[in-house]
Structure 1
Amino acid sequence: MSLTDDVGRYLDHLTVERGAAANTVSSYRRDLTRYAGYLTDRRIDRLPDVTCEDVREFLVELRRGDSERSVAPLADSSIARTLVAVRGLHKFAVAEGWVEVDVAHEVTPPRAPRRLPKSLPIDQVAAILDAVGADDTPRSLRDRALLELLYSCGARISEAIGLDIDDLDTDSKAVRLRGKGGKERIVPIGGPAADALDAYLVRGRPALAAGSRGSVGPGVFLNARGGRLSRQSAWQVLASAAERAGIGETVSPHTLRHSFATHLLDGGADVRVVQELLGHASVTTTQVYTLVTVNTMREVYATAHPRAR
């Protein structure tokens, strides 16, 4: 069988036997057509003649592109997606008995570059918190309590809007957060956040709850109809506050979480304590924040030390 036949049979398998979505099959067809063309250019026209090195070189070509053919290089995420299609073809070929060895099995996709979490300087966080809840309306009290809580304990937005009244202990200044996988953790909150929550619970939440047409649920943060505040609405609260504070860049709830972790580490907190506060299952996930603080130290060193250059 030719490469074209092999690819066609595999796509038929995805469509008929696996019931893959039309968009998935279309994506696989595009990636595998490119793969078959690459092999043909190397004068390989049968799957049994393909080696592991051929598959690796294909990934290199995808990353490099081809200026002569006006083929742009692919991003690492696109290369990884293409490799999934190639692996599927070779695995299917082994299962069908066309080849004896799956030469693509050991080939790994390129690792995506490690992106540093985006965080804000302390003064910008303070400006955002000062810009929210300027008046004493129920909505303003809610918005200030929400943002103070997000930054004070590094909560994910889903954890914050998922809070119930019983999860709050303003006397001991702590909240119970439910993280990924239903894992719970107790996190302390600072004085400003505790005060903002008290003000909201006393003067804000009852007024919002009055807008409900039925019984009010246990959610802490309510919308104007007395229901639980949505994720989208919580995002808009922060976006509006950041705009009023004059922050030009996009600020998301996760930005406050990143800022929480970075500021703790800058202040000398142990990385494993920060891991527990963030609810990370592995300290490796938390250690990415140490890269941010190291970069900050380098910038300070470069500008402040007389012999840095």
Structure 2
Amino acid sequence: MDCAHGWTARVRDANGEPADMTFAKKTDALVYERKVLEAKSLGVVTRPKNLRITFLEWSEEWLSSKARRPGTEESYTRNVRRHMQPAFGGMRLHRIEPKDVQAWVVGLSQSGLAPRTVHLIYKTFRACINSAVRKRVLQHSPCVDVDLPEVRRKHIVPATREQVWALYEAMPAHLRALIMVGAGCGLRSGEAFGLCQDVIDFEAGVLVVRRQVIKVRSKPHLVDYNKTFTSHEREVPLPAFAHRALRDHLDAHAVLVTPQGEHVVFPSSRGNLLRRDGFYKWFKKALAAAGLPPTFRYHDLRHTFASHALDQGIPKATVQLYLGHASEDVLNDVYHHQVKGAAARDRNALEAVFFEETADVDVPSTIEVDDDAT
């Protein structure tokens, strides 16, 4: 190692091949020597050029490395350029340590981002790093023992039958049936916005979830895939009340015919694909009229569907298929919430184990709850 024209690390890799490299700083040369020696002890060949790669260079290469779904591509690009490159862009990829990643995660939380958002950004970072490890650009991942903020699930109370109907009545006529599609079929908002005539089988009383509306560069797009592999092409029941709502809707309102020939059931009032913000403008007003809290979302109609289905004894495995989940874990974790009135109704079944006279007990259909009680 000399300093006449910089500091040169003179080492050989695991194959015995020279892996010399010259650096401007002695510390960089020493770090390089250590990395090569560590790799050599493990029998791993260290390519000198890989130790020059910055996170900025690698992240841009990773973004362009393969085709992704438009929504995924937009999310990855936003996370990389808005949150990851400002923190790690100038650093050599191999110099990023777990402590650097932990400090970055803490900073994301302190900036005011929601815990779930921090998790999603970190997931993108980890995918980018793991790709470098798989391609042997990086020997070890710095994503080790990183503590993420706790994601607390909010307490969800499924809507009652009366609330669902009140919400239906409070919505504009061209959007009313969306309420019944959510509560009766368990569709996500994007799946409901992308519902087309060809997937509705009124005679059989089912519909197939095949498309969704996603936002790409602030514009809605109808795509022929769903959120997950298990969500796509799933068949869900079309109960009588949702059946009637859809029939009435199609009798009264025109569909949107796309250039590809799809007949979209729920276009906007201007005849375009329905945008989430446009829908929620009306949905928020209808919540107040229906006596539902302002935090209630369209997705909570999906919770309502799952909770009432489970409460009525539909097997978990079947509800899982209707929702498009790969396993029952998500179902158990998220969607099984107590249905209002279930405790009073179930009292009858529990007392029947010990007392024959229970059949004469008048069981209320609803339970009055004191909002001030804890």
Displacement of 1:296 after TM fit? Answer: 10
Q: 1:186 aligns to what SS in structure 2?
A: strand
2:199 aligned with 1:154: no
Displacement of 1:117 after TM fit? Answer: 6.6
2:177 aligned with 1:145: yes
2:164 aligned with 1:125: yes
Which amino acid in 1 is paired with 2:164? V
Query: Larger relative CO (CA 8 A, sep 6+): 1 or 2?
Result: 1
Check 1:25–1:198 CA distance in 2 against 1; reply closer, same or farther (3 A cut): closer
Unmatched runs of 5 consecutive residues or more in structure 2: 1-25, 32-49, 62-76, 89-94, 211-225, 348-367, 370-374
Q: 2:203 aligns to what SS in structure 1?
A: coil
Which amino acid in 2 is paired with 1:236? K
Equivalent residues, number? 261
TM-score (norm 2): 0.52
Structure (1/2) with the larger strand percentage: 2
Matched with 1:113 is: 151
Matched with 1:221 is: 266
- Asked whether the 8 Å contact 1:14–1:25 carries over to 2, the reply is no
C-alpha deviations, 1:124-177, integer Å up to 9, x for none?
3333123235xxxxxx1x322121111111111121121211211223322111
Q: 1:118 aligns to what SS in structure 2?
A: coil
- Asked whether the 8 Å contact 2:185–2:305 carries over to 1, the reply is yes
Structure whose CA Rg is larger: 2
- Percent sequence identity over aligned pairs: 23
2:237 aligned with 1:185: no
Q: CA RMSD in A?
A: 5.2
Unmatched runs of 5 consecutive residues or more in structure 1: 33-46, 64-70, 134-139, 305-309
C-alpha deviations, 1:213-244, integer Å up to 9, x for none?
x9985111233344443333333342232133
Which amino acid in 1 is paired with 2:241? P
Check 1:78–1:221 CA distance in 2 against 1; reply closer, same or farther (3 A cut): closer
- Asked whether the 8 Å contact 2:207–2:238 carries over to 1, the reply is yes
2:236 aligned with 1:236: no
Check 1:227–1:108 CA distance in 2 against 1; reply closer, same or farther (3 A cut): same
- Asked whether the 8 Å contact 1:80–1:110 carries over to 2, the reply is no
C-alpha deviations, 1:95-142, integer Å up to 9, x for none?
799xxx748454354474352573433143333123235xxxxxx1x3
Moved more, 188-197 or 146-155: 188-197
TM-score (norm 1): 0.61
